Each structure stands twice: as C-alpha cells, then as structure tokens.
Structure 1
C-alpha cells in the first residue's frame, strides 16, 4: 500500500505486525467518530493488553509486536482502530529505521496488505495504519504520520490522559504476556468466535440480582462466577400510544455467525429453529394486555457453536410508527425460575417501523453478554432487519 491508500478488509480478524531494525512497541487506540477515545482504557498496549475487540500481542521468538483486531467484537460506537508504533530505546528516532506494517488474516496467516511509510527523520512514534468502518464494512488505511514526542504525543492527540494511561515499564522488565488467539475445541476451525475482552467500564454481572440497562449498557450473564448456560426468555411488551387503537408489532430473533452472516430467523412465519433451541411463543396482533406481548425462548446451551450473536428486533407489521407506541420494553428471564434477570425500557420513540432492541453475544469463555441497543430503522418485517442488526453486532 502507498501512503494514504485504503483497501477493504477480506477477513473478520486481522493481525497487524510491525517490524523494524530496532525493537518497537506497538499500540492500538479505539477511536469514536469524534476522533477521540471513549476513556483512557481505549489505549491497548503492553501494560494494558486487552480492549473490546483489540488485543496487544507482544513480540516473542520470531514474532514481532502486533495488534489483533476482531472486527466483530469492536463496539458499535468505535469507528476506527488506530495502530501506532513507538521506539523502545530512549532518545532513539526513526531516522534510518524502516518500519513495515504487515496486515494478515489472523486465522489463516494470509497476508492481506503491507505498508512501509516514506523515509522518516526525527520522529519517535508514528500512526502506521487505521482499521476503520465504512458503513457495514471494514477497511484498512495506510497513514504513516510521524510524531516527535513519542506514544504520549499520539495518545494525547486522541484524548488519552497520559499520566494515568501510559505507565512506563522499567528497563529490562518483560512486557505482560498475552496468549495468541486459539478457538475452543468445540468450535469449527473455519468459524472464528469472538474473543474475550475486558470492558472499559466495570464488568456488570447478575450477582446482585436484576440489572436495569440503559441504551448502550451491557451485562454479562454470569452469576456466582459461572456462565449462565441455561434457558432464557426474551420477553417484549408495548402499549398503544392512543386508546382504542391496536398496534400489531412483531418480535423476532436473528441468529448470526462470527462473520455477521445470518444463520436463521425466528419470527411469526417460522416459530422455531435449531431443533427448538430458539422458539417463538406466538404472535400477538394487538399489543393488548398489561403483561408481555411476545416472547422468544432461547436454550443457550443448545445453540450450535457457529451461533455467535443473537439480535432481538421488533417491527410494526401494520406500518404504524413507533411514535404510536408507548412503554416498549424487553426483559430477559430465567425460564426455569421465572426470575427477571435484565430489563431495558425503551424511553424515546422515533418515527420508524423497526427497532433493534438488544443483542446477545457469545464470548470465548462461553458466557453471553447482553447489550441494550434501541436503534430504530425502517423495516416492517424481520427480513428487513438483517442488515441493520448485523451492523450493530
């Protein structure tokens, strides 16, 4: 690649390796559309080697420092992953050093692209490449922008608080080891599941009882240190905004693999899939009554290993907008006990005919993470929700 060039990514998981004549420290920053990190935890480097969808892989043996990006696991509010390189030796510059970034398919080792920036001088750090979203796709861009004030200068430009976020490893101290990615034995070799990650915010579990989510909030379905691998029910409800007017909303569940490809859809035209592992309890045509209007049961431990993400969506089959609906919500229950585990109340309606309420995503540990979305689109049936839902996973 030449400086400024971009290309589509042809792999879900990519590894960016950086080589040079001297030892380099490679880092990754998770950047929003506003061009800044969400918090200091969005800097992934040797002292903080894991972020959501981004992992630092330290050099070892014949392998150079690298950053692995699992595009599936990058949060929806992150637009770009910036890959940087800085010199390990104090006082050294990039003059006479020719760093090269090699972008590989992290699962096959296939080289996708390479980039060597133009000749450098007094720079001590540089932004090498960017992995970024373009609509529902991911692309790679060759940047090659140098900085004279090291990684601290780059991090500061992107909104990281340097004092707290970039501690210095004492000379000679080993960098923290991060194991290379390895899919669990139960997963097919050709399907790369989402890796685990350490969220920027404190991890929320079910240990303290029911969790109420706000839009964008997440909860790990873990209780007492163990993943909740049992049957859960996603129940959805709503009320007409004006009395005497029926609203025909339909709840559906779309199952995706690790490449965001749809595997199956459970909706009123197909009430169960995967031998009953996901089952719709039936269609409500009016939204009447004070309880749940529609529900979908999911037997988590009965899902095939290729199922990595579930999106729960609601559509107005009759064409009315969600501004004609009030008190829409979804709640997750333990089917065995009936206990409500998680609740998300959709407080602000928008004039559209579809909404992606929430998603469940499987982690490498086997646990599932639920995230409240509340994203509106125009689609009257589940068929029209596949692409919007995939883009939010």
Structure 2
C-alpha cells in the first residue's frame, strides 16, 4: 500500500502487526464520528490491552499487534487508528522503517502491508486505520508523523494524557480531619499497620538526631513509631514510618520517585511505575500510570513514561497531593512492572523514595536489597490512619504481572 490508499477487508477479525528494527510501542484508538475517543477506555495499549472489539498483544517474534474484531466494535465507533512510537526515550524514526502488516486474524493470511516512506524527526506515527464505509470495513494506509510522541497522538484524538499544572497549584484540604472515633490513633484503615503495636527502632542508616526541642527528639511514650522528626528515614522491608513532623501530620504534596538500573552493562531495562488507589473496603478506586497521567481531580499525577524525575537516578515519579485526596481514598500502593517480560533479577539498585514535592527534600527511602525472577514488584504503600496522618510501609513483594492491571488484587491483599 502507499500513503492514502485503501483496500476492502474480507475478514471479520483483522490483526495489524507493526514491526521495526527497534522496539516500538503500538497502540489502537477507537474513534467516534467526531474523530475523538469517547473516553480514555477507547485507548488500547500495553497497559490497557483491551477495549470494545479491539485488543493489544505482544507478538512472540517481536513487534506488537492490534487486533480488531469488526463484529464486536460498537456502532458509535467509525474507525480504529493504529499508532507506533519508538520505545527508547527521545528516539525518532530517522533511519527506521516500520512496517504495518494487516492479516486475517483467524487464518494468518496477509491482506496488506504498508511501510511509511521518508521518516525523519517524527517520534510517533499513525500507521494505518481500520474504518467503516457504507456498512463495510476497509483499511487505509496513513503514515502521518508526530513530533511530540505518543502523547501528542493521544491528545489529538481526545485522550487525557497531558501533564497537569505544577504541584504548587495543587488543591489543599483542611489541615485536620474529624477527630478519631473509637479506634486508637495507631490503627490503620484495615487494622494495625505492619509494626504498629510493637516498638520499631530507627534503622542504622538514619542520621543522628539534630539539635531540637526535647519533645521532638523522641517518640511519644508508648508509641515506638518512626516519624520524620529526625530527618530522612531509611526503611527496611516491612518497616513503617509515620508521616508526621513536629507533631503535625504531613498533608502537603509529596513525590514518590522510583528508579532502577540494569544489572548487566549494555542490557536495557524498560519498566513502568504506577500507583493504585484503594478505598477502605480494599476496592480499587483508580490507578495512575503512563497511559493515565492524572487521576482523582489532579490529586495524583504521573511524570510520564521513562522521564527522569527530580534528583539523580529517578526514572519515573508520581506526585501525590495528600491534602487533596478525596476521603474515599484510604490507601495507595506503588508498583513497578516489566511489560516486556524482563525479570527483576536483571535489575539492580531498584528503590523508591518519598520527597517533599516543593522543596525536593528526601523524606523516606527504601532500597530493594534482593530481587526475584518475576515481572512485578510492590514497592511501598501509604495508608491513611484514623487520626488523619499517613503512614508509609516498605513492601518489596514480587509477583508475576507485566501490567498494573495484574497488580490490583495482590496490592489489595498487601494493604
């Protein structure tokens, strides 16, 4: 096929493979008559692999596939556009010739192929579109390039992936919630957090107490909890820190930076960081990840895929406006996944760290000291206490899941 050409489709189920000499991220967008998605659910990609009549899969021999079951596509959808972007951060299509191959999804026979010509500085591309015309389905070769990546394509078609305003404009909630009821202040929304009843000594890595009023230098009698009064806290697995400083709960904006490095020189690692928000019944409220950069009215914001966060080493960062979280959100679990299937045994120095989003001060750090040959890890959780304060617990629990969707159940159990 050549740019702009079209062909009728004689198969009900068609698969579009997009391959190239480099790794590509391939997506499908379901568009209504106005040329826009109806909602973010119409954006199908590796972290949201299914939509109405459209699925995403990774081909065994390399490349990704968008499969369209035309009989299952809703009546209000006029076309499905198939897009591609280089997986490497900042990479363009210069010197790369991606090829879209349209196949009968049932017998594998090739219906059409298309290689967009003369690509250069483009960082994303609409390869082909599957569309309705007079009650029949057709395929058109497009080859339209974008300079602002997959986010540019998604935004153009109505997906909400643009990064929101800076944290300084974040909403702030009243400084203190209603007074606690019968449960003690040390109890979390789902019962006592790890280590709450028993005293937990500050780890060796914590710096000595600075010159400060005597009341701030030691925990309250009988509480035994680590807080932020002594400066940065370094957690070990299953340890908990109360986000309280000077006797007041931290309700400002914080940033969870997550980072990792390859265990072997020259072997690239592509991981995705996400956060899942839960209610007091352990039911998922929402999740924030590369394909959904803002949730809960801007209270949680994702930096985007493969961007360097504040401070050396952060690969991705997630900002949480603690005071702006709706009351139905009582727990957050931060996870990292390897969609491409690389195991965490190929990852070195994975960590998460909590920072003050405005000053950049590092508050809490957790370094993953061991790895397992699995594709997902729950790094840490934040739980709102009955007293209104938040507590952070280091998890470091590995599971077999390549996407944030597969983390929802195990993360709920970890709360």
Q: Give 1:225's match in structure 2, choosing from 247, 266, 279.
A: 247
Name structure 1 gaps, 5 residues minimum: 1-48, 54-69, 79-159, 161-197
Q: Is the CA contact 1:322–1:352 (under 8 Å) kept in the aligned structure 2?
A: yes
Alignment of 1:133-282 (within 5 A): 202-282=224-304
3-state DSSP of counterpart to 2:412: helix
Q: Give 1:300's match in structure 2, choosing from 322, 337, 340.
A: 322
Alignment of 1:67-86 (within 5 A): 72-75=190-193
3-state DSSP of counterpart to 2:190: helix
Matched, 1:349 2:398: no
What is the CA-CA distance between 1:359 and the residue it aligns to? Answer: 0.2
Q: Take 1:341 and 1:75, find their aligned partners in 2: how far apart are those partners?
A: 19
Q: 1:351 to 1:52 in 2, by over 3 A?
A: farther
Name structure 2 gaps, 5 residues minimum: 1-182, 199-219
The two structures have a TM-score, normalised by structure 2, of: 0.48
Q: Is the CA contact 2:275–2:333 (under 8 Å) kept in the aligned structure 1?
A: yes
Question: Counterpart in 1 of 2:114?
Answer: none
Alignment of 1:347-386 (within 5 A): 347-386=369-408
Q: Take 2:221 and 2:373, find their aligned partners in 1: how far apart are those partners?
A: 33
Q: Give 1:317's match in structure 2, choosing from 334, 339, 342.
A: 339
What is the CA-CA distance between 1:200 and the residue it aligns to? Answer: 8.3
Moved over 3 A (4+): 49-53, 74-78, 198-201
Q: Is the CA contact 2:194–2:393 (under 8 Å) kept in the aligned structure 1?
A: no
What is the CA-CA distance between 1:72 and the residue it aligns to? Answer: 1.5
3-state DSSP of counterpart to 1:383: helix
Q: 1:334 to 1:285 in 2, by over 3 A?
A: closer
What is the CA-CA distance between 1:366 and the residue it aligns to? Answer: 1.3
Matched, 1:333 2:316: no
* Backbone CA RMSD of aligned residues: 2.8
What is the CA-CA distance between 1:285 and the residue it aligns to? Answer: 8.1
What is the CA-CA distance between 1:202 and the residue it aligns to? Answer: 1.1
What is the CA-CA distance between 1:71 and the residue it aligns to? Answer: 7.9
Q: Take 1:377 and 1:264, find their aligned partners in 2: how far apart are those partners?
A: 20
3-state DSSP of counterpart to 1:384: helix
Question: Counterpart in 2 of 1:389?
Answer: 411
3-state DSSP of counterpart to 1:323: helix
